[in-house]
Amino acid sequence: MRLLVLGGTAWLGHRIASTALDRGHQVTTLARGESGSPPEGVQLVRADRGAPGAYDEVAEQEWDAVVDLARQPGQVRSALAALSARTRHWGFVSSCSVYAAHDTPGADESGALLPALEGDEATPETYGEGKVACEQAVLEARGSAGALVARSGLIAGPGDHSDRTGYWPLRFAHPATDDGSVLVPDSPLTTQVVDARDLADWLVRCAEDGVTGTMNASGPQVPLAEHLATAREVAGHRGELVPVSPDWLTAQGVEPWSGLRSLPLWLPLPEYAGFMARDTSAAQGAGLTCRPLAESLEDVLVWELQQGPGRPRRAGLAPLEERDLLAAARAAAGAR
């Protein structure tokens, strides 16, 4: 199979390219190359997808499959215009952030979507709307039976530079306190992640087999408490857990999900009860299988330690912030 990955030097794209190469395919990536290098044995075509003529070097070739990871509608439209007529299978990696509501656990792909972004460029604040516009462009060009639209859940595993899935195993391995105490959210929230390696393998197999349709692509639903217990076991943590309520965290200025002064994976309820509890039966029926959560967390911990525990992070509490919060939580508990 001749596979073209539009963006194949960063995390998931690199995994897709390496997986396809390992399965014996001829792989080309088209990217600026600023996020890294493609796997050895993969051809890199350097191009800025926002510039005129970005696809000139690949547009006259025949492709068995294209996998596009873009978040910018303009890039998706230009790729389809240049490449769709010469491509057998089209795969687009979307996101469960396209849904208009996230309060219903078990919701499937029929849920209402956000309004599509008008224009070509999404911002971080309009990420979901941008992905909706990307999906619409793919389906308009290829038809509902002519493309795979994979609405990915939270991607986990080694290489997670968002710092969300690596935060907890690293924190349990390197607590912020001398006594090993770790602050954790006390919430009945459900978590749901998909390892980048499993998602990449599935996307390549879908390209091989010509699988099409729109599908939620994520892993099993795991209660947050069980997810944290797994991260703790992987890290060998034996210190005290200090559970605090979501209301208390909010009052202390702790953000959910990601960003500075945050606790990753925690989300407000009830409005996000279904954000990481999507129905993935369609993708499972199409062959998506996921490794155990413990394996993903163990491997991301190894990667985190290789990166350096003290590096600046995009998500989580800084050690000093956590020590202050632990002191405040214990003081509040003592005053009751």
Where the chain has pLDDT below 50, the residues are none
CA-closest candidate to residue 218, choices 282, 146, 265, 143: 282
β-pairing, 315-316 with 259-260?
parallel
Does this model's pTM top 0.85? My answer is: yes
What amino acid occupies position 33? Answer: G
The span from the CA of 224 to the CA of 164, in Å, is: 13
Q: How far is CA 61 from the centre of its chain?
A: 31
Q: Boundaries of CATH 3.40.50.720 in the chain?
A: 2-152
Note the pLDDT of residue 9: 83
| Cβ pair 224, 276 in contact under 8 A | no
CA-closest candidate to residue 64, choices 274, 169, 209: 209
- H or E segment to which residue 288 belongs: none
| Cβ pair 304, 161 in contact under 8 A | no
Q: How far is CA 153 from the centre of its chain?
A: 6
Note the pLDDT of residue 8: 75
Interval 240-285: pLDDT, tens: 999 999 999 999 999 999 999 999 999 999 999 999 999 999 999 9
For domain 2-152, the CATH class is alpha beta
